[in-house]
Structure 1
Amino acid sequence: MAKFSIFFFFTSILLLPLLCNSFSPENPTDKRILVLLDDLAIKSSHSIFFKSLQQRGFQLDFKLADDPKISLHRYGQYLYDGLILFSPSITKFGGSLDLASVVEFVDSGHDLILAADSSASDLIRDIATECGVDFDEDSSAMVIDHTSYAVSGSEGDHILISSDDFINSNVILGNKMIEAPVLFKGIGHTLNPVNSQVLKVLSASSSAYSANPETKFTSPPSLTGSKISLVSVVQARNNARILISGSLDLFSNRLFRSGVQKAGSLTKYPKSGNEQFATELSRWVFHERGHLKAVNVRHNKVGETDEPAMYRINDDLEYFVEIYEWSGTSWEPYVADDVQVQFYMMSPYVLKTISTDQKGLYYTSFKVPDVYGVFQFKVEYHRLGYTSLNLAKQIPVRPFRHNEYERFLTAAFPYYGSSFSTMAGFFVFTIIYLYNK
């Protein structure tokens, strides 16, 4: 027993650095991803996309969506950092996974990629609805475009469309412009107008509509024009990220390698923009780009270095915060000119834009307002494509003590004069009254 205790002690000592490293918060990139498939053949038909994730250090766990052993957490701890649902036709997940657990997984700050197609089940549609996206109610409808279709796939139905209407954001799609159009074959969706966290990443053209390509119209299509979103993303308030695509084929090897020529255009691209588009989007979804952190938040009186327990009204103070961005391999200084700090009590008494030294340090100085109470330094930073920063630090502000006021105030000289003139007048009146006959 003693030998076992000694062995266990030394084993724990040896493994401690490894355990600390594996749970280190310094690396925000999700590494463990559960991939649920309708058919294991998708693993090979979409292998280029999966290989790009693995080459970037992600550990993919492939399972059939109806596997009875599926579980996202064990003993109160999540087993995965991200979830990829490439199982559009699944009607019921296996194991302990269901709609509520997927929503809870995202609510706990984890990331999700969901791809659907014309066979999308009610379960997949419900998950998308919970994320702020509504697929076309017609289960047989697909996005059709007789103007912006791909010439190579045009056999009359025009359901293989060519889209280049991307979101204008280098954070989400990377600094390198996607030159070739993206091939899309699937179903369209709209964004919930109440949910401000959902963004269109790839939109349909103004000539597109959603309908069943095998039947004639009996009524006007419910989804038309550029309000149809092909691919959307969600930046949740807890900084979880979601990607929702109406096409599973968009991630396939076939469309990755396929050439593309947009109808009405003479330019033919030897390779579609699908691979670059999907890769850059996955970088953003799994926090390899656009992830911010704030450290070393501090404040002090001007001319001092120690942080005080409280301030006095009209004190001059300085505020500092360091902000860094994850580049995929390391933390780099984040440079922006729109970071602001509030000195807040019920409402902001001071609102100032913070200057930066271009090396990650943001700083400013201001005078404490002539109001005493409990204030907060607040930084609420929300920028398209970046994780949100919500910093708050509480500090009380006191009035002057009785012995800290100035003895004579310049503004009070008229009152001083009136007091002394009243006393002098009373003295003169008394003398005259007593001694005048």
Structure 2
Amino acid sequence: MSEVNLVLRSTRVITPEGTRAASVAVAGGRIEAVLPYGAPPPAGARLEDVGDDVVLPGLVDTHVHVNDPGRTEWEGFWTATRAAAAGGITTLLDMPLNSLPPTTTVGHLRVKQRVARTKAHVDVGFWGGAIPGNLKDLRPLHDAGVFGFKCFLSPSGVEEFPELDQERLGSSLAEISGFGGLLIVHAEDPHELASAPRRGGPAYADFLASRPRGAENAAIEGIVALAGRLDARVHVLHLSSSDALPLIAAAKRAGVRITVETCPHFLTLTAEEVPDGATEFKCCPPIREAANQDALWQGLADGTIDCVVSDHSPCTADLKTPDFAAAWGGISSLQLGLPAIWTEARARGRTLEDVVRWMSAGPAALAGLTRKGAVEAGRDADFVVLAPDAAFTVDPAALHHRNQVTAYAGKRLYGVVGSTWLRGTRILHDGAFAEPSGRLLERND
């Protein structure tokens, strides 16, 4: 056994084999062993006993818009990673758009890495972007360590990150597949969106009608067909339409290499509860009806949906105008995803082991982060200490992301994060943060 410097003990440690009382021995930032609860700490090791609080592996969030540099007034690496740590997230992957420049060339990636290097409270990796005109940049970005490539099939909302038409989608996916890469897709069909009714104003029903389920369903059908023809690996981002679940399940059974995520807001918020003018609830694709939410939970339970990630997409408060057509679309939930999902999961008879599978192991597997996502020997010593039965009411002023705009204001949630640990170092304890110690990750780290 290597020299153990820390033992984290709890009556409830969630491991890949289940939940049990254990002492987790840490050496050099890695988990050395998961020992019996009563095992005496090795000589010289510090013992941290958290009693009956639950020790989870640090969460992995593979869908975060940090927007830094260029739109740092929306969000930045300092604020986003503090919010992540406060929410039990120890690793995040930054999306390639909403920053200036976007991550569409190696040079742009280096700019973003320089900005993030001294500001990251948690480990940070980067997605590249696939846009018209950067086909030649995809392999160099892959070689530089991005985890995959994001594209849009409909307008992204920012002019510097255009969508791919069908021809460019095919050529980009063929290129990415050729070097064994991953394409992650915002799947809304532009023709379905163009034919949907469009009306401005504060009525959420009008906005919901403008982003129909059919737009997601048609886009996913096309992605499945293309991925099957090319034997390419694809991932569907932020699934909102439960209608697409049978298609996805059938594709998986047929051997298509497709994975899919959904988000806390789709699993915990419903269209029926969105007040008119409350554009803090606006996102694309949209929050849909309660019956749709029930079907998404079933998709999680049966494994059709692989993981739950935030799609943290913040903006300044002034961009959340009362007009759903004009307001910026995005929900900020880095700090609240774990308690939001746990609150709903426990009400539906699910366990914290399920939550770990969806929010830690699943995203880590998607990104190929073999050192993350589990409490077991050889993994990074990334932990969340959670009081699962403690409740709190969401106060926007207590949120750490840059702009305290949230769809969860006033909601009562279960699950209080007491401390967060990154490679054996406590980076958050009772609301106090350590100095930034996050690392910049590359694919295969």
TM-score, normalised to structure 1, is 0.31
Query: 1 or 2 for the larger relative contact order (CA 8 Å, sep ≥6)?
Result: 2
- Larger strand proportion of the pair: 1
TM (normalized to structure 2)? 0.30
Look at both structures and tell me which one has the larger radius of gyration over its CA atoms.
Answer: 1
Q: Per residue, is there more helix in 1 or in 2? A: 2
